[in-house]
Homo-oligomer: A and B are copies of this chain.
Amino acid sequence: MSGFPEWSPQQRIVEKRVLEKIEESFRLHGFINIETCGVESYERLVKKGDGKEIYRLSKAGSGEENLGLHFDLTLPLARYVLDRKGDLVFPFRRFQIQKVWRGERPQGGRYREFYQADIDIVAKGEMPAHFEYEVPLAMCHTLKSLSPLGLGTFSMHINNRKLSEGFYRALGIEDVEETLRRIDKLDKLGAQKTRQILEQVAGAKGADACLDLAQIKEKDPDVLAEKLESLRAKWGVEGPSAERDLMREGEEDAKAVLRALLRSGFEGACIDCAIARGLDYYTGCVYETFLDEDPALGSICSGGRYENLISTPKQAFPGVGMSIGVSRLLSHLFSKVKADRISPAWALITVWSEEERWRSDEAARILRERGIACEVSPSAAKLGSQIKRADRLSIPYVWFISSDGGEVKDIRTGEQKKADPATWEPDPKYAADIIVRE
């Protein structure tokens, strides 16, 4: 089934560890876990997503249902928050790690079923700007915590919708959303083609100016300010105006993110005025994150601030969120690390004969009671073939149980000694079950 990835038991160990590290970091940052069901109202999905990619459910006999599989975790969050707005404590910091489904054409790093790991902070009423740095800060920490699992350095690219919108409006461009959508294609289409499609909405001068803004990529907040100043001068929009104020506001919010990341020790962030994000619900900072050694993999962690995604006409629920594309990350990590264990068992308990299997069962019971994972040999075959099973499953120890006691052998070193299941401890050096490939 193309696009529906399934991992080997060893790859699953890596996936599980990645998910656990992400979750641990989300908790460290005070995010609360929720899980939503896999389905949403089909109408809502179609309204917010790409209809061609949405899986709708039907049942023999009752036909099409008003249900589809969720394609992200933001839409479910919106429903969850509105369903429980009377019970949740706002600002609501939530994390959610689940599979989502998109019927895209499968290609490198893109799947039809994949894990997303999201954090969002949803406020009631007004949302303070500092959340726009808290969320990317938590994400930088989270991604950094994956470096023992082979994740290299990464760059977070930050932009702000107000910055782009203010500039576009100052240039006289009316359809800001469509301009953003076209700028978003710059990466895929290249400058020349993007200029052509921009010209249709922004005019010739507008297209050139938009592309000029999109070229700005800067790590230093002060240099950024200078570059934007000369950009405005070049295109004749430097005078005071409401549009210019909006642009400045976006600039300040974006720089605040950059500064907070720098304060926290992250130097891999930049303001990248080409980042537009396809989704039209973003209203403030937007973020994308690329692996330095494999930028072609695409963004591995993206998001932004939104005002109206959750809000109702009666009540505002602005928020900011980011999402890690875990399965895409994994497709990269599998080439960097591998699992050193297959079975979680520390020991295989051999069996002398089926009549004496109960002795091995009893030793296993005692070990498990003490929290030591083990398995009893499936057959009373020759010892060599029992040990071979331990070896093939990367189980580090083999136990030999007899009526007068037991012996345990470290099959990696060959060392064998008398031992008692009631007191024996495995060497913790075998606990590390993921190793970095050379």
Interface residues of A (CB under 8 A from B): 1, 4-9, 12-13, 15-16, 27-39, 41, 46, 51-62, 64-65, 67, 69, 80, 83-84, 87-89, 91, 93-94, 99, 101, 103, 113, 123, 128, 130-131, 134, 141, 260, 263-264, 342-345, 354, 357-358, 361-362, 365, 368, 371-376, 378-379, 389, 392-393
Query: Which residue of chain B has the shortest Cβ distance to A99 in the bound complex?
Result: B38
Bound complex: CA A93 to CA B53 (Å): 36
Q: A284 to B91: give the CA distance in the assembly, Å.
A: 55
Q: A56–B60 contact, CB under 8 A?
A: yes
Chain B residues lying within 8 Å of A51, measured Cβ to Cβ, are 60-61
In the complex, besides A38-B99, A53-B59, A55-B59, 19 extra interface pairs with C-beta distance below 8 angstroms are A4-B37, A6-B35, A8-B84, A28-B371, A28-B372, A30-B343, A30-B375, A32-B342, A51-B61, A56-B57, A56-B60, A57-B57, A57-B69, A58-B64, A59-B103, A65-B103, A130-B354, A263-B362, A264-B361
B residues in contact with A57, CB < 8 Å = 55-58, 69
Q: Give the top 3 A-B pairs by smallest Cβ distance, nearest first.
A: A30-B375, A30-B345, A4-B37
Is the pair B15, A35 in contact by a Cβ cutoff of 8 Å?
yes
* B-chain residues with CB within 8 Å of residue A344 when the two chains form the complex: 27-28, 30-33
**What is the CA–CA distance of A374 and B345 in the complex, to the nearest angstrom?**
35
User: Secondary structure at chain A's binding surface: helix, strand, loop or mixed?
Assistant: mixed
A134 nearest CB neighbor, chain B only: B376
**Closest residue of chain B to A51, judged by CB?**
B60
On whether A1 and B39 interact (CB within 8 A), knowing A64-B58, A378-B91, the answer reads yes
Which residues of chain B are near A56, meaning CB under 8 Å? 57-60
Give min CB distance, A102 to chain B, whole Å.
Answer: 10
Bound-state CA distance A343–B121 (Å) is 13
**What residues of chain B lie closer than 8 Å to A55, measured between beta carbons?**
57-59, 65
What distance in Å separates the Cβ of A91 from its nearest Cβ neighbour in chain B?
5
A6 touching B61, Cβ below 8 Å: no
- A54 and B64 contact, CB distance less than 8 A: no
Given known contacts A39-B1, A80-B6, A264-B365, is B60 in contact with A52 (CB within 8 Å)?
A: yes
Determine if A368 and B9 form an interchain contact, defined as CB atoms under 8 angstroms apart.
no
Closest to A378 in B: B91
Contact A29 B375, beta carbon cutoff 8 Å: yes
Tell me how far the C-beta of A174 lies from the nearest C-beta in chain B, rounded to whole angstroms.
31
Tell me the nearest residue of chain B to A56, going by C-beta.
Answer: B58
Q: Quick one: which of B354, B373, B392 contacts A27, CB cutoff 8 A? A: B373
User: Which of B29, B141, B379, B393 is within 8 Å of A89, CB to CB?
Assistant: B393
Determine the residue in chain B with the shortest Cβ distance to A137. Answer: B361
Residue in chain B with minimal CB distance to A141:
B368
Q: Smallest distance from the beta carbon of A60 to chain B beta carbons, Å?
A: 5
A223 to B77 alpha-carbon distance, docked (Å):
57
CB contacts (< 8 Å) of A34 on chain B: these are: 6-7, 9, 12
Chain B residue with minimal CB distance to A88?
B9
Is A59 a contact of B52 with CB atoms below 8 Å? yes
Residue ID in chain B nearest A26 by CB atoms: B344
